[in-house]
Amino acid sequence: MIIVFGGTTEGKKVAGFLDRKSMPYLYSTKMESTRFTMDFGEYRFGALDADAMTALFEKRGMRMVIDATHPFAAELHENIARACDRSGIGVIRFERDYRLPHHLSEKAEIHEAGSFDAAVSLLMKLNPQRVLAATGIQSLDPLRPYWKRREMKLRVLFSGRSALTAQKKGFPAGHLIMMNPPGTVEEERHCLMAYGIDCLLTKESGASGFLPEKIAAASSLGIPIVLVRRPSLPAAFRVVRSLRELGGLLQQASFRA
């Protein structure tokens, strides 16, 4: 059996592919998410550390892991790697598209950071008046050195849990923007202008994270972008970037489920 760690657009793509191939799988997410039709899949949710994963793999007779989680879920990636190493199971990483159109990468003022700590240092040097951090609720702690001293808006999804987390951590309530991520350049431009943003902080979240739209909108307004690069993946992961590649790898003897 195959286990798919998902909760993303890529996870749903993988699930749909396995359904079309009539391959049984378990679809796993950290938080309970909106259900979708799975013809050959089962669904579970709840956080798993490496020990819990190892136990689950043994209990369900897992023979293959497909990691289609968010690129910034570094701790989860490491737990998957450790559990698979213990269980002798292969890992396929279904990766999203991170390419930026050439005209964007050439035109936009992009300052790359290898971590949130580096991003804070860059922001201090750039010294903007008002930053929009389109980086989610999990970035509150690493960005604390900045928002405790300078003005920063944080954009998160509509969620009572996110609002409560921000409140508990002392983030200014008036600086929390709760909205779905803009899916078009114009929607992103409107958000940037509405809040008087003069610097955008975002993560390397790829096309499915609307990164090209974010960069295009900021660039059109002459706003600099601080881009936090995605963390590296464990060395044991076999990376594929298309469903065709995924199918080919699953057909290989060492990666059959």
State whether 210 and 130 are in the same domain.
Answer: yes
State whether 182 and 246 are in the same domain.
Answer: no
- Residues in contact with 74: Cβ distance below 8 Å, sequence separation at least 6, in sequence order: 231
State whether 10 and 92 are in the same domain.
Answer: yes
State whether 106 and 93 are in the same domain.
Answer: no
State whether 222 and 167 are in the same domain.
Answer: yes
State whether 215 and 130 are in the same domain.
Answer: yes
State whether 240 and 148 are in the same domain.
Answer: no
Q: Domain containing 43 — which CATH number?
A: 3.40.50.720
State whether 224 and 186 are in the same domain.
Answer: yes
State whether 168 and 205 are in the same domain.
Answer: yes
Angle at 87 between CA 254 and CA 77, to 5 degrees: 90
Distance of alpha carbon 257 from alpha carbon 244, whole angstroms: 17
State whether 195 and 155 are in the same domain.
Answer: yes
Task: Give residue 61's domain range.
Answer: 2-97+232-255
| Three-class SS state of 177 | strand
Strand order across the 2-5 sheet:
41-45, 25-29, 2-5, 64-67, 90-94, 238-240
State whether 108 and 224 are in the same domain.
Answer: yes
Distance of alpha carbon 62 from alpha carbon 42, whole angstroms: 13
pLDDT in single tens digits along all 257 residues of the chain: 999 999 999 999 999 999 999 999 999 999 888 889 999 999 999 999 999 999 999 999 999 999 999 999 999 999 999 999 999 999 999 999 999 888 888 889 999 999 999 999 999 999 999 999 999 999 999 999 999 999 999 999 888 889 999 999 999 989 999 998 888 999 999 999 999 999 999 999 999 999 999 999 999 999 999 999 999 999 999 999 999 999 999 988 444 44
